[in-house]
Amino acid sequence: MSYRIIAKKDLAQGIHLLRVEAPAIASKAQAGQFTMVRGDEKGERIPITIADWDKQEGSITIVFMEVGATTKKLACLNVGDTLLNFVGPLGRPTEIKSFGTVACVAGGFAIATIVPIARAMKQAGNRVISIMGFRTKDLVFWEDRLKEVSDNLIITTDDGSYKRKGLVTEPLEELLEQDTINRVIAIGPTIMMKACSTTTMSFGVKTMVSLNPIMVDGTGMCGSCRVSIGGKTMFACVDGPDFDGHAVDWDLLMNRQRIYLDEERESQRLLEKRLRPEF
């Protein structure tokens, strides 16, 4: 079975959206879950979080950034093309209930992950304060979507080219000092999630993070997404991807992320060589 791409959009430089025909997945998808995607028989399987779903249309929306050979190949696909494998929904959904005031913090293209979570939190009766951070203005997307499901939206850019200059941890710390925050959801690069967890720890506010960036096969079989949570070994793909950020062994996690760097660089070099026109 193949899965047809019914819409494609370039959201920012190197960040792409695909809407895929997958009615079985759409019928069961929940905020925080992910899919395993493989473009063709020679491609690798990669985890991509579900950014949105439409049960009536029977579609799943995914958003990804070009970071290696596989995502570069996905970016070359167009409407009408098909994906060989599209498996999901996988992982445990984000815990959604009425906490009170929830701060949703997203770094970079993780905005696509935080939007359905913020929407679900709002629907559950929470007051939602969202923070989205990007390196620069040119990478900002889905501001309108997150604003629509938030009571307040704060935007930061590292270089100050749009809205507030600085990192997401700065307004997060201010919120914790000035307001009563009952839960924090932080999703983005590992270093950003670690910084958010460190920031909230001194305030005693439970902080959930998503560890899907370290997954490989998404089924718990390969063991590559082993993480230490409160001293206990768990697997991000089947036990998560959401975990208590205060219990994550961040140093061990970041060391594991570096394991395949050489292989990723070589794979990207070979792909660029194949795509480069010969003169």
What confidence tens digit (pLDDT) does each residue in 167-209 have? 999 999 999 999 999 999 999 999 999 999 999 999 999 999 9
Query: What's the pTM?
Result: 0.88
pLDDT above 90 for 254:
no
Domains, the chain, ordered by start: 3-90 (2.40.30.10), 101-257 (3.40.50.80)
Please state, in angstroms and rounded to a whole number, the distance separating the CA atoms of residues 37 and 196: 29
Q: Tell me which residue of 129, 136, 195 sits closest to 165, measured CA to CA.
A: 136
Please state, in angstroms and rounded to a whole number, the distance separating the CA atoms of residues 176 and 68: 37
Please state, in angstroms and rounded to a whole number, the distance separating the CA atoms of residues 67 and 259: 16
Average pLDDT over residues 67-86: 90
What confidence tens digit (pLDDT) does each residue in 217-247 have? 556 666 667 788 898 988 877 887 899 999 9
Q: Where are the beta strands (DSSP E) in 125-168?
A: 127-134, 152-157, 164-165
* Cβ atoms 257, 213 nearer than 8 A: yes
Please state, in angstroms and rounded to a whole number, the distance separating the CA atoms of residues 54 and 230: 37
Helix, strand, coil shares, percent, the chain, to 5: 30, 30, 35
